[in-house]
Structure 1
Amino acid sequence: MANDASALTGANLYNDPYPVYARLRSEAPVALFEGTNEYFVTRYDDCRTVGATDRVFGPSGAADRPEARVMGMPNVLTMSGEEHACLREGIDLNLTQERVRSYVERLTLPVVQRFLDEIKPKGEANLTTELFEPISVRCIGDVIGLTETSNDNLVEWFHAMALGLQNVSNDQTVWDRLDVALADIDDQLGALYEAALSKPNSTLMSHVMHGGMPEGQVRSLKEISPTMRVIILGGLQEPGHAAANACAGLLSNPEQAKVMAEDPSAHALRAFDEGLRWVAPIGVTPRVALEDFEIAGTTIPAGSSVAIVMGSANRDEARFENPDRFDMFRKKKQHVSFGFRPHFCSGHFLSRAMGEIALQEAFRQLPNLRLDPEQEIKAKGWRFRGVNVLPAKWDA
């Protein structure tokens, strides 16, 4: 590929992966990306095939993958079979649709109100860093059990981890920042572990320790630490970035923003879901090929790392009309932002319910919410992608 914005390079992916993905879907729908030494699968139907073909594409537990360096192995994403099902029992206990409905307003509304009250009088803010991210990290931090950990501390964790996963150029300063964050995470999880060891509680940490285990048995801290890191990375940032992405889509489309503002409760969930499709917060899920497999005219050799590129599948022209456009009224079709079973995202009910509340209250309480014409929206990342600068104004 020529050296332009649509060439398959780490820098192009980080800055804006969508021109790269569009070109790959057209010219090389299954392509080896040398930056991470994995095959990118970029078309919607091919992503579904790989995601559904468990006997060939198992979870990737390769020690040379960035996930191993950042999260540690084995974790919930690298497990399969009985071991995976048993661990998921603990994780999923409090995240079913019914359970989420019973507590989500109590968890989310006070936090949303707190951050809205802080920004309301100012009449302008970066809604990502001053509203949606803080809501997400505070709520999910509290669910995990990190009630005493500051928002700034939690935000630093997921930024350091996300940068580590995308460190294609092997930048040592990125690894150093990651190591500081991981040491802090280990310290704080250790304290939570000790607290829940003698007396199980309602935190996600406690559920992961005890859930699915025989009576009187508990998983060791070493055993669950990699999975807790997965939960911290995905959980802290995904709901916030999904809400920010949806809000950016709405505000970039004033007609839809107006409809949203007129009746936020009627449209918030639909807008949030379209935001998930438009910019998948978690853009890639890894697999490993257990045998040779031919797909889209390319043979993926046994043992190869494979990336199901959800961020590309969600913008496949063959699946979605005008896929690069945010449109909350588009005909509802399933996207793949929450991954594939058996590793479908545990937190999808909670993420959607939190995102709905956050978007609803922002449009309800910030009159004439609009983009700041003097500044530009900025987004970054490809394994994890989000609108990190969302400059907005409202009538204070």
Structure 2
Amino acid sequence: MSAIDVPIDETISFEMLDRDPASVYQRLRRECPVVHVKAINRILLTKADHVYQAKTDMVHFGSEDDQTPMQRAFGGHTLMRKDGAAHLTERSAMVETFKVNHWVCDWKARFEQFTDEALGKLPASGDVELRDQFAAPLVARILNDLLGIAPESDAQLFDWAKSLITGAMNASFDEKVFATSDKANAEMDACFDGMIERHRAQPNPSVLSVMANAADPLPLSQIRTNMKICIGGAAIEMRDALLTVLHGLLQHPDQLAACQHGGRWDLACEEGLRWVAPIQASPRIVKKEIVLDGVRLPAGETIMAVQASANYDEDYWQRPEQFNIHRPFAAHQSFGAGPHRCMGENIYRRIMAGIVLPKFFARFPHAKSASDINVEFRGFAFRGPTSLPVSLS
């Protein structure tokens, strides 16, 4: 059978992808796993094998693209849209921060202290909203320390991240949208430049200090843009991933009890990442024409590899819509794959499974989901709970 051109779906709306993407992807995996969705003007890959191939097959797929709105949104050409030696050089400039010796000697004790202090600010009992009262301030404090930055407030860090993400998704190149990301860029650049002076006087293992104090440092422009990658790719995602796993455990007291008794918080951490991938989809460029499932992808096309759909693929997961820490192991794709796989994945696991989850439930062993309140998840490219009300007792 000869290959066909990419089918076009005109029935899927952006609102459907924002509110209930799992139902959309379930149908696409079954009926049309490689499809152009008119509402977002992108080709989606929804099967796990195709998503993995798009991340690892460097002959047919790549990330190199300097014509996207991301370049304007981030104030330069970031390592996320580079391949090969150029990408490796800039990625390698940050690796030192995430080495295990720094976890043991620097980060672990500090992040335990931050978590204890964040928990200490919560009431001993009663109703509380964990998104703004716990997850966001804790994540901000951890990230500011890890990255080596000092925003004016926790809110500013999340405003920066939101501005970067919104600007990167500005496919129409709307100047009003870019005005917001331009303002955020100016604020971030000023923050970075001031912090670089401090880090050169007092070197430390934070990302910004490591890059600024390298023997052969990157140009300042690339230090700035790649710091923005760390902010745009960690603040909202880390907050939402924490909230997702807390919600999953609170909705399933038997699984929470298994973690409390067995100490396997790592299982909950991984299942939360699979259940609702904080970054739902990632762009790739077709470098060389390829046929997937009988569909021809021409060179030069931009595709979205949908890891959220890959994590629900029935070829690998049974009842994927359910949060289940006891399911048979299969590797989720929430951290990506290939050269662009998330650099911070292991430190995230150590923070959440080794510190935050056990400490939270040691302090509040009988925490419950707030009654009669439906937790809503939103987002197409980035997804998480809009709030997480709980009852502490």
TM, length-normalised to structure 2: 0.90
Give the letter aligned to residue 363 of structure 1: F
Give the letter aligned to residue 355 of structure 1: M
Matched with 1:255 is 254
Correspondence for 1:16 among 17, 20, 24? 20
Residues 104-134 of structure 1, C-alpha deviations (whole Å, 9 max, x = no match): 3212111111121111335222212221222
The 1:15/1:163 distance shift into structure 2, 3 A limit, reads: farther
Matched with 1:237 is 236
Q: CA deviation at 1:229?
A: 0.9
User: Mean Cα displacement is larger for which, 101-110 or 273-282?
Assistant: 101-110
Q: CA deviation at 1:171?
A: 7.3
User: Mean Cα displacement is larger for which, 229-238 or 326-335?
Assistant: 229-238
Matched with 2:318 is 321
Q: CA deviation at 1:180?
A: 2.8
Matched with 2:143 is 140
Residues 83-124 of structure 1, C-alpha deviations (whole Å, 9 max, x = no match): 222222221112134433443321211111112111133522
Correspondence for 1:29 among 33, 53, 74? 33
Matches within 5 A, 1:72-151: 72-121=75-124, 123-147=126-150, 149-151=152-154
Partner Cα separation in structure 1 for residue 170 and residue 30 of structure 2:
27
Give the letter aligned to residue 156 of structure 2: N
Correspondence for 2:387 among 386, 389, 393? 389
Give the letter aligned to residue 118 of structure 1: K
Correspondence for 1:185 among 188, 200, 207? 188
Q: CA deviation at 1:374?
A: 2.9
Matched with 1:379 is 377
Partner Cα separation in structure 2 for residue 377 and residue 171 of structure 1:
32
Partner Cα separation in structure 2 for residue 15 and residue 176 of structure 1:
27
Partner Cα separation in structure 2 for residue 207 and residue 34 of structure 1:
43
Correspondence for 2:48 among 19, 44, 49? 44
Partner Cα separation in structure 1 for residue 9 and residue 95 of structure 2:
46
1:367 partnered with 2:369: no
For residue 124 of structure 1, give the secondary structure of its aligned residue in structure 2: strand
Partner Cα separation in structure 2 for residue 197 and residue 244 of structure 1:
36
Q: CA deviation at 1:246?
A: 0.8
Matched with 1:354 is 351
Partner Cα separation in structure 2 for residue 56 and residue 116 of structure 1:
48
Q: CA deviation at 1:166?
A: 4.6
Partner Cα separation in structure 2 for residue 82 and residue 164 of structure 1:
27
Percent identity between the aligned chains? Answer: 26
User: Structure 2 regions of 5+ residues with no counterpart?
Assistant: 1-7
Give the letter aligned to residue 362 of structure 1: F
Aligned residue-pair number: 385
1:53 partnered with 2:50: no
Q: CA deviation at 1:315?
A: 0.8
Partner Cα separation in structure 2 for residue 35 and residue 226 of structure 1:
30
Matched with 1:269 is 266
Give the letter aligned to residue 39 of structure 1: I
- The answer to whether the 8 Å contact 1:91/1:204 transfers is yes
Q: What is the RMSD computed on CA atoms of the aligned residues?
A: 2.3
User: Structure 1 regions of 5+ residues with no counterpart?
Assistant: none
Matched with 2:3 is none
The 1:298/1:72 distance shift into structure 2, 3 A limit, reads: farther
Give the letter aligned to residue 65 of structure 2: G
- The answer to whether the 8 Å contact 1:95/1:347 transfers is yes
Q: CA deviation at 1:388?
A: 2.5
- The answer to whether the 8 Å contact 2:63/2:81 transfers is yes
Partner Cα separation in structure 1 for residue 107 and residue 192 of structure 2:
23
Matched with 2:335 is 338
- The answer to whether the 8 Å contact 1:44/1:316 transfers is yes
TM, length-normalised to structure 1: 0.89
User: Mean Cα displacement is larger for which, 161-170 or 289-298?
Assistant: 161-170
For residue 377 of structure 2, give the secondary structure of its aligned residue in structure 1: strand
Give the letter aligned to residue 16 of structure 2: N
- The answer to whether the 8 Å contact 2:136/2:154 transfers is no
Give the letter aligned to residue 38 of structure 2: E
Matched with 2:4 is none
